[in-house]
Amino acid sequence: MAKLIYSAITSLDGYVADEDGSFGWAAPDEQLHAFVNDLERPIGTSLYGRRMYGVMAYWATAPADQAGAQGDYAQLWQGADKVVYSRTLTAASTDRTRLERDFDPAAVRRLKASADRDISVGGPALAAQAIEAGLVDECHLFLTPVVVGGGTPAFARKALVRLDLLDEHRFEGGVVHLHYRVKA
């Protein structure tokens, strides 16, 4: 059975975007980007809400032949299947992408049971639905050494999720990676 994995680059105070919607402070350096790429390699399908898909669609046209971590990530993203949950989009703008109108926990359970590669969930709103449904198996958090004071939280404010720390890694730029398994 495939795992459903939620990853987020957050401020130290737990936000993925500040109050203005900006997340430029979270841009990974080459070392961090290469680490993220290695985490993405086992992913066969990514689940996105409309907003996160809009951000990630950049990778559909990013040069996959460029050297370094960004070219590597473009190849990974372009090679993965994508499911986008949106009631407003009429068509997907990227290859290997299908639209779903509503998040259906039973359908995601079936996907996990049948997938031969792990699945990621991108974006805190969609991740909150997956967490609430008991679907998320692991979390990768990248704590960035910045405090933004408010914005979009990485986790829903009412979420109670008990976690077991599996691993941690400190990067030269001060980012700390925390890898957790969700307790059943």
pTM of the model: 0.95
Average pLDDT of the residues in 118-134:
96
Percent of all residues in the chain with a pLDDT value above 90, rounded to a whole number: 94
What confidence score (pLDDT) does residue 157 get?
76
Average pLDDT of the residues in 149-162:
90
What confidence score (pLDDT) does residue 159 get?
74
The architecture CATH gives domain 4-140+151-159: 3-Layer(aba) Sandwich (3.40)
Average pLDDT of the residues in 60-70:
91
What confidence score (pLDDT) does residue 114 get?
98
What confidence score (pLDDT) does residue 36 get?
97
Q: Across the chain, what does the average pLDDT equal?
A: 96
What are the structure tokens assigned to 93, written together? 């703008």
The pLDDT-based confidence of 66 (bands split at 50, 70, 90) is confident
For residue 104, give every residue at least 6 positions away whose Cβ sits within 8 Å of its Cβ, in sequence order, or none. none
What are the structure tokens assigned to 42, written together? 């086992």
Amino acid letter for position 143:
L
Rounded CA-CA distance 136/130 in Å is 6
Rounded CA-CA distance 89/69 in Å is 30
Percent of all residues in the chain with a pLDDT value above 70, rounded to a whole number: 100
What confidence score (pLDDT) does residue 154 get?
96
Cα separations in angstroms, 53 against 1, 63, 149: 25, 18, 25
Residues 94-105 have pLDDT tens digits of 999 999 999 999
For residue 24, give every residue at least 6 positions away whose Cβ sits within 8 Å of its Cβ, in sequence order, or none. none
Average pLDDT of the residues in 77-95:
96
**Which residue is it, tokens 């809400």?**
49
Rounded CA-CA distance 140/178 in Å is 6
The pLDDT-based confidence of 64 (bands split at 50, 70, 90) is confident
Quote the Cα angle for 135-8-60, to 5°.
95
Q: Is the pLDDT of residue 135 over 90?
A: yes
